[in-house]
Structure 1
Amino acid sequence: MTEKATLDRRTFLYTSAAAAGAVMLGACSSNANNQTGSSGQGGDNGKATSDPSQKGSETKPLPKPASFQEAPMLKELVEKGELPPVEERLPENPYVIPHRWVKPGKYGGQLLMISDKASGGAIAASNKEYMYGHSLLRWLNDGLDIGPGLVESWESNEDATEWTLHFRKGLKWSDGHPWTTADIMFWWEDMVLNEEHTDTPPDECKSGKGTVATLEAPDDYTLVMKFDAPAPLTADRLAMWVKGTVGNGPKWMAPAHYAKQFHPKYNPNVPKNWAEAGGLFEQKVDFSRNPECPTMNGWKLKSHTEGRSIVWERNPYYYAVMPNGDQLPYIDQLTMSIVADKEVGKLQIQQGKLDYVHGPFYSTDVADISTMKRTESTSNLEVILWDGGSGTGSMFFFNYDHPDEKFRKLIREPKFRKALSLAVNRAEIQKSVYFTTGEPTTGTLSPKAIEYVINDEGKRIYQEWRDSAVKYDPETAKKMLDELGVVDKDGDGLREFPDGSKLRITLDYPANTAQEHIQKNQLLAQHWKAIGIDARLNPVAPEGWSDQWKAGRLTSTTAWEVGDGPNHLVYPQWLVPIESERWAPLEGQWYNVRGTPEEKTELDVDPYKRTPPRMEPEPGGPIEQLWKLYDQTRVEPDEMTRHRLVWDMIKIHIEHGPFFMGTVANTPRVILAKKDLRNVPRRENLAQGGFANPWIHPTPAVYDPETYYWENPEQHQP
């Protein structure tokens, strides 16, 4: 198998299934479709059209422009001798933006944005979703393709045990210092392989056996990754997340010329005890919190006022350009205000105090569309809908490893879980929670995943899983429960366990969860009560939620969704239990200790009292079957064979599931943009209508916000 510099892996693009059924959503769509004009993405006023030439992104690198242009503020610095000419600041072959919807823009202005995250770590995770500059490779076409990033070209050997990455020559950090593979090797040798440091080898640096790779840098622009077994998903995983610093993906690099002064190995004045040195080191090499730390992103940090605001300014050395040679970004400054109170934030939106709101970061949902449309004349914000890409919407799943043996036996009975799924009136949830958008689903991974769109067989597999227990059929649900002996034995109208003891299902969720999930849970309790199941909402203190779930002490999770893609194997935790946060927490933890000395320890200890809590799956059961198939996918170089193995795993979910229950898939995400902000893609521009929900397919970073520009930048000055 050989991976090329760009991977055109699909023969057709999946057309999203979500349709805006509500009148307001329909109005939003038609407004977006009918705009015309001259200076933006496809029309005279920069709005989307249905022109297919403006849909999606080129999969082959565009040619290097004949000349380059730069922001006036940078040109002035060049003329003063304070900055090298733009040609010297760019690499030999810059990254040329491949999106068909973008048009040459204007420089200047600031973009006012908002975040509701009050803590620094959470802010760092969300605000970096706007920036893809640290990514080695990049997702294109809503995950249908992989294109270059910092890496200009790459290849692997036939069995995918060795990968060679060729980086762009002449890359520079935001302070002008040359970027080389030494910056990766510093991260690898002095952070990842340093047992005292918190960084650990990411998935893309492990073989299909889970063994850590060997990284070598034969020169400043070449990196060789060697594995002891095939690592076929390396390119996919190099495109995941946004990378660069703490949160939302591995760092993958650090500015060695800057960072070494804070590392005890290189500076004798730094404490040798990493417990003392580590805190300062982490703070200094975090470009999202320290303005002095160089970055490879389009904007560099200007200021960070804890709990109040973050300001980013243009990076004069950013390596991306428009096809006409304009160095990006167009906008001078991003100003992010921290507003923890969502109602206060929504009021600011309606008053027009913000320029761009990315709904997934500020919980602006379909329920807010009507209000946003009514206040459009005041806010001057246009409502833009991108597909979310979720395979479930607000979901529900039992703890497959419930500590009560009697309850665990019932939960593990597929007929019980299927009966409860058939009792859910998804049409009511679709109307009440999602305003008739999306499509009812039993629950799958993202409908945009490659395994579903690669051919007709993939489409059929998706539809079978989606529809396997989606029908609202309370009478059949009752009969299935009767067959299990889950009947009303005491005449109180509620069903008991087969032995006659009380059966109560708690709908567990963190107490600070979004209203979307609470509203769904209220309907879920009503639907199950109608078939005689006593289900009650149970908010849990968020501080202890994770520990309780991993220990197997909770009954269910009801405030989550499955949004992951672009394929089932880059983030397979929903498909197969391999960790402790999803539907089989203790068995997932057992997977993590397989093949280690820990596997043979504490065998005489109660699984729930082991450290960490863990249990072995039932021999021949569905989880063991899933593990065997998954282990094959990890070392299978042939992509089509991997797809078929995934289909076999899905068949286990159909036969033995649902292990997790969805409600409504692929509902839209709300994006708000000032009407004179250009190059913001509309749904019609995006290859699959958008793919906004998963963090591993980071939006809007994958659509390059560095291309956004103001039609009248002088009206948007800081």
Structure 2
Amino acid sequence: MTITTRTLLVSAAASALMAGTALAECPAVTVADMAGVAPGDFPQQYELSAFQEAAGCDMTFSENPEIAALNGEIKGNPELPALAERLPSEPLVIVPYDGVGQYGGTLRALSNATEAGTSDFLSVRHVNLVRYADDLQTIVPNVAKSWEWNDDFTQLTFKLREGHKWSDGAPFTSADVKFWYDNLALDSKVIEKPKDYVLVAGEPMTVDTPDDTTVVFNLPSPKPGLLAHFATSFAQAFLPKHFLGQYHPDINPDADALAAECGFDTGLAVITAYFGNSDWTDTPTPMLNSPDKVDCLAKATYPTLESHIYTSETTEGRKLVANPYFFMVDTTGQQLPYISRQDELYANDNEVRILKLVNGEVDYKSQSLTLAAAPLLLENQEKGAFTIQLKPTIAMPAFSFNLTSEDEAKREVFGNIDFRKAMSLAINRDELNETSFFGQGEPKQYIGFSPTPEFVDPAMTKLYAEYDPEAAKALLDGIGMADTDGDGFRELPGGGKLVLNMQFATQGIGGEVVELVAQYWSDVGISTAVKEVTPDEYRSAQSSNQLDVGMWEKGQPTAIVMGNKELFVPPFENYFGHRTGMLWAEWVDSNGASGVEPPEWVKTMMADVDAFQGAVPGSDDQSEIGARLAKSMAENLPFIGTVQAPNVIYHRNALKNVPEFQNSVLRVLPDVPVPSGAVVLLGVMRPVGWG
């Protein structure tokens, strides 16, 4: 889920920012110096006409001197027309933080592996229809120029930008939004099961496109949080119909024949190669999956509206160049992004990643960094010419037991609330805080909302979170788990051996946290076996319902829950996080035809979250339902919270316009921080949609 940033970052290779010199008729307005220009309708950005009126100027546009060469690296792109033909008639004007930037340079990123630890890098280029401003409260225009709700939140209308173009120069229109929804998001041949957030209380919407710049979402029932979803999701509400649509048989009757020319079985196989079978915007492309077919295909990756586009991809990493048709400009008329290139390197070993950071081989990093790395990084800041920020987060490491384990003996134990209470009481959160988080965190229980909304009883954040090993042992005794063979560890109630296989990936949780929790559980007689695995191995085991214990950071604000109910519906999250009720999810999806029927508390929670999303935000009705949801989450412990502690944010000093990061009330992906702006695009960093 996304967050773009509006911090105009410039990499080391791009040299210093050129602050203070007007590069066009309009003044070099910055957040630091507004030069007497009145703020616009939205924080730190303007529509072009509004800025020209406020600044009393007539903007002249300019471009990156390298843009023609960069465009030449984008497979399938024609030669560039003049800049005026590439920008929308009303580009979005972004106000830099400290100074107007100088073009050029390469932003170097570091990820774990393909689709693992890549979210903070995706955040620096991502866009969606709308986004959250730096105040993390105000939804502001982004790809869409404006929006309007009807009175009962059953119709949401967006106006797009006239003349907006994809990265290959093709027009971006309302048809691209309708194509995404009708032909991809709802097509079971592409995505087997529609994502929760494209539905309203389980029912699909309809999309009308009365003209090229108008998109109307018609909802079967109220869902005010739909707008917040578009502001926070990595799943973009548009895809290029002109390219992907030619391979969809419902749009082009010759799709399969066209695909066969490039060695694909069907047109849908081409869409899968480019788009994957989900709406995650960071999937590998045919450059990696089908290198023998790339030359035949018109493009190596599908066109984008983001600040940068992929030009190469291998198992070692990926490279991107600036989008020559990007729709934002700075206050002097320079087309963004400032940064010409982005390089992403994969390093799945945590120690290797830390070494590269210490050596200054990376320009920006946050995801997959834990507080355990802070002392070494802080010690090397001056020598390595980088800066470390320690900022509060809303996420915390959480543990979950496989409530629908294929092993029925384990399923019976994991499904017993007294077992889960015992495991929570066995964790010494105060010691965990001191040992793993240097005393900087706050012990907490997981309640499904973070930060804690006013409508939640604060006592819920402490429920079963005290350290009481004797009470834990008594609970385990009470469910018939005793050490019958004298080896110091308890057997299952029926007498069989129980060993909790604790497989974890450092992308989602720190190894030091896992080791300590495993020891706490061993101390009350539960045998554990800890093993570090790759994120792909972790997710594969989870997908096949083979994990005993889920271990990943969790934390989502109310704004996300208003648009996405997956935390309260089996399996209680998605491929990228915890999934702890796989067979319950199968029962729900099949209307009871297969899988395992969930208990009543789960069914009640599912109904409550639908009601929560349909209620007017901030109303007494919504608050009452929200309090009930948090209470159910805390009392039933599908997830066990630990300690909410600061996160590490790294950037090289050569990057300019980097803001002070603030507590991210909108975080969607647990280990991606939100700067006070939120899009490391372009440099522009600002939360542009936790998408």
Q: TM-score, normalised by structure 1?
A: 0.73
Q: Is the contact made by 1:429 and 1:520 (CA closer than 8 Å) also made in structure 2?
A: yes
Distance 1:541 1:547 in 2: 10
Q: Does 1:300 align with 2:290?
A: no
Counterpart of 2:597?
616
Q: Is the contact made by 2:123 and 2:681 (CA closer than 8 Å) also made in structure 1?
A: no
User: 96, 105, 112: which is aligned to 2:100?
Assistant: 105
* Structure 1 residues 329 and 64, CA gap change in structure 2 (3 angstroms): same
Counterpart of 2:374?
369
Q: Does 1:418 align with 2:412?
A: no
Counterpart of 1:205?
198
Counterpart of 2:689?
none
Amino acid at match of 1:431: E
Q: Is the contact made by 1:241 and 1:697 (CA closer than 8 Å) also made in structure 2?
A: no
Counterpart of 2:646?
668
SS at match of 1:589: helix
Counterpart of 1:271?
257
Distance 2:200 2:668 in 1: 28
SS at match of 1:254: coil
Counterpart of 1:322?
330
* Structure 1 residues 70 and 617, CA gap change in structure 2 (3 angstroms): same
Distance 1:48 1:387 in 2: 24
Distance 1:341 1:541 in 2: 9
CA deviation map 1:27-70 (0-9, x unaligned): xxxxxxxxxx9959xxxxx9999xxx99xx82995633442443
Deviation at 1:531, TM superposition (A): 3.1
Deviation at 1:281, TM superposition (A): 4.6
User: Any gaps of 5 or more consecutive residues in structure 1?
Assistant: 1-36, 41-45, 243-248, 602-609, 711-718
Q: How does 1:153-302 map to 2 (within 5 A)?
A: 153-192=146-185, 196-198=189-191, 201-208=194-201, 210-242=202-234, 249=235, 251-259=236-244, 262=247, 265-266=251-252, 268=254, 271=257, 275-283=265-273, 289=285, 290=299, 293-301=302-310
Q: Does 1:647 align with 2:644?
A: no
Q: How does 1:486-525 map to 2 (within 5 A)?
A: 486=481, 493-495=488-490, 501=495, 504-510=498-504, 513=506, 516-525=509-518
Q: How does 1:328-343 map to 2 (within 5 A)?
A: 328-343=336-351
Counterpart of 1:246?
none
Counterpart of 1:604?
none
Distance 1:468 1:651 in 2: 9
CA deviation map 1:627-683 (0-9, x unaligned): 2312323433455233321211112233x3322111111x33322222132111212
Amino acid at match of 1:592: D
Distance 2:169 2:232 in 1: 26
CA deviation map 1:247-301 (0-9, x unaligned): xx2x533333444555565484852778433344555679975557432112233
Counterpart of 1:92?
89
Distance 1:624 1:439 in 2: 31
User: Any gaps of 5 or more consecutive residues in structure 2?
Assistant: 1-16, 21-29, 70-78, 286-298, 686-691
Q: Is the contact made by 2:32 and 2:97 (CA closer than 8 Å) also made in structure 1?
A: no
Q: Does 1:64 align with 2:51?
A: yes
Q: Does 1:626 align with 2:605?
A: yes
SS at match of 2:552: coil
Q: Is the contact made by 2:366 and 2:650 (CA closer than 8 Å) also made in structure 1?
A: yes
* Structure 1 residues 636 and 73, CA gap change in structure 2 (3 angstroms): same
Q: Does 1:396 align with 2:390?
A: no
Distance 2:350 2:320 in 1: 23
Distance 1:176 1:492 in 2: 69
CA deviation map 1:182-203 (0-9, x unaligned): 2223444554565544486544
Distance 1:260 1:630 in 2: 35
Distance 1:626 1:523 in 2: 32
Counterpart of 2:586?
589
CA deviation map 1:669-713 (0-9, x unaligned): 322222132111212xx3x35766617988679722236499xxx
Deviation at 1:503, TM superposition (A): 6.3
SS at match of 2:200: coil
Q: Does 1:433 align with 2:436?
A: yes
Deviation at 1:492, TM superposition (A): 5.7
Sequence identity (%): 25
* Structure 1 residues 364 and 276, CA gap change in structure 2 (3 angstroms): same
Counterpart of 2:293?
none
Amino acid at match of 1:276: T
* Structure 1 residues 68 and 643, CA gap change in structure 2 (3 angstroms): farther
Q: Is the contact made by 2:60 and 2:333 (CA closer than 8 Å) also made in structure 1?
A: yes
Deviation at 1:86, TM superposition (A): 4.8
Q: Is the contact made by 1:192 and 1:199 (CA closer than 8 Å) also made in structure 2?
A: no
Distance 1:317 1:545 in 2: 38
Amino acid at match of 1:337: L
Distance 2:487 2:375 in 1: 43
SS at match of 2:640: coil
Q: Is the contact made by 2:507 and 2:535 (CA closer than 8 Å) also made in structure 1?
A: no
Deviation at 1:233, TM superposition (A): 2.3
Q: Is the contact made by 1:386 and 1:669 (CA closer than 8 Å) also made in structure 2?
A: yes
Amino acid at match of 1:671: I
Counterpart of 2:560?
567
SS at match of 2:648: strand
Q: How does 1:460-471 map to 2 (within 5 A)?
A: 461=457, 463-471=458-466
Q: TM-score, normalised by structure 2?
A: 0.76
Amino acid at match of 2:324: P
CA deviation map 1:332-386 (0-9, x unaligned): 22233344554444333333333x13220xx333222222233334421111234
Q: Is the contact made by 1:131 and 1:298 (CA closer than 8 Å) also made in structure 2?
A: yes
CA deviation map 1:154-192 (0-9, x unaligned): 122233222211112221222333321122234445545
CA deviation map 1:91-136 (0-9, x unaligned): 33322337xx8133222231341334444x6597664332223x11
SS at match of 1:228: coil
Q: Does 1:444 align with 2:447?
A: yes
Counterpart of 1:22?
none
SS at match of 2:434: helix
Distance 2:517 2:68 in 1: 62
* Structure 1 residues 142 and 406, CA gap change in structure 2 (3 angstroms): farther
User: 682, 685, 692: which is aligned to 2:660?
Assistant: 682
Amino acid at match of 1:705: V
CA deviation map 1:190-240 (0-9, x unaligned): 5456554448654443222x2222211100100112233333322122223
SS at match of 1:382: strand
Q: Is the contact made by 1:89 and 1:172 (CA closer than 8 Å) also made in structure 2?
A: yes
SS at match of 1:73: coil
User: 470, 473, 478: which is aligned to 2:468?
Assistant: 473
Distance 1:227 1:691 in 2: 24
Deviation at 1:304, TM superposition (A): 0.6
Distance 1:405 1:283 in 2: 38
* Structure 1 residues 214 and 341, CA gap change in structure 2 (3 angstroms): same
SS at match of 1:294: coil
Distance 1:308 1:583 in 2: 32
Amino acid at match of 2:356: Q
SS at match of 2:669: coil
Two-structure CA RMSD over aligned residues (Å): 4.1
SS at match of 2:596: coil
Distance 2:177 2:189 in 1: 18
User: 706, 715, 718: which is aligned to 2:681?
Assistant: 706
Counterpart of 1:20?
none
